[in-house]
Amino acid sequence: MSTETVKGKVYVENRQLVLPGELLAEGDVQAQSPYIYKVGEKYYSAIIGLASVEDNKLNIIPLEGFYLPKVGDLVIGLIIDVGITNWIVDIRAPYRAIMNASDALNRQFNPIQDDLRKYFDVGDYVLAKISLFDRVHNPVLTIKDRGLGKIVHGRIVEIQVSKVPRVIGKKRTMINMLMNETGCDIVVAQNGRIWINCSNKELEDILILALKKIEAEAHTTGLTDRTRNFIREEKARRGL
């Protein structure tokens, strides 16, 4: 089963399910995942995932997991506290994010005069980007970019973070199909929150059911076609 490369030996096949502690490869291979660790010359998996093997490049796509912030990620945050000069935002990560008022307002602000609750209050959703994050600092959010800011209409759907790539699909096939079939606007954030904006309630319901279906069947094949059929059937059933 092993594939010999120039110097290294890979013991897993592409798309094979790997478990923690599973021997993946030996010798000269390139491990491109934080979830691959090395003992001596041997590479092991640290999580449950699907192996991705390309020549002697080795990667693991996690099947379980949580959101770990990365600078530049698009996230949908939930305001959980309002401070004097900043907001505390839940982004479904091990760390709570901070959004500074100076970053969110497009002008000088005076903490004595301005009440930040006027702009974002507890319970508001915000579409933001992570501008800063490292081992010693909590993530810092910014909304200084096109399309970012407070979410005032539509709905938020939460899915498992490990299923996010599946909702987007290879070359955005899945998300484009969802948008074409339902006519809704969809924004998928990296932290597993999805913002949907539909023209009517029925389509919104169908889209939410479709997203939940993708989440539940993320590891199966032919999902895009099955989801397309599912949406069409639901539309026909509801007379749309």
Residues that bind other proteins (CB under 8 A): 15, 17, 19-23, 34-35, 37, 39, 44, 46-48, 50, 62-66, 94-96, 135-136, 162, 169-170, 173, 219-224
Tokens of 75: 């996230």
Q: In terms of CB distance, is 114 or 217 closer to other proteins? A: 217
Q: In terms of CB distance, is 46 or 156 closer to other proteins? A: 46
Write down the least CB distance from residue 2 to other proteins, Å.
17
Q: In terms of CB distance, is 222 or 239 closer to other proteins? A: 222
Kindly list the distances between the CA atom of residue 39 and the CA atoms of 1, 24, 43, in Å, as whole numbers in the listed order: 21, 11, 6
Write down the least CB distance from residue 28 to other proteins, Å.
21
Q: Whose CA is closest to 141, among 65, 179, 88? A: 88
Write down the least CB distance from residue 159 to other proteins, Å.
14
Q: What is the DSSP letter of 179?
A: H
List Cβ neighbours of 157 (8 Å cut-off, separation of 6 or more): 193, 194, 196, 208, 211, 212
Kindly list the distances between the CA atom of residue 48 and the CA atoms of 45, 58, 123, 140, in Å, as whole numbers in the listed order: 8, 15, 34, 29
Write down the least CB distance from residue 135 to other proteins, Å.
5
Q: In terms of CB distance, is 173 or 200 closer to other proteins? A: 173
Kindly list the distances between the CA atom of residue 93 and the CA atoms of 44, 90, 193, 216, in Å, as whole numbers in the listed order: 25, 7, 12, 21
Write down the least CB distance from residue 209 to other proteins, Å.
19
Q: In terms of CB distance, is 136 or 236 closer to other proteins? A: 136
- What whole-number distance in Å separates Cα of residue 26 and Cα of residue 40? 9
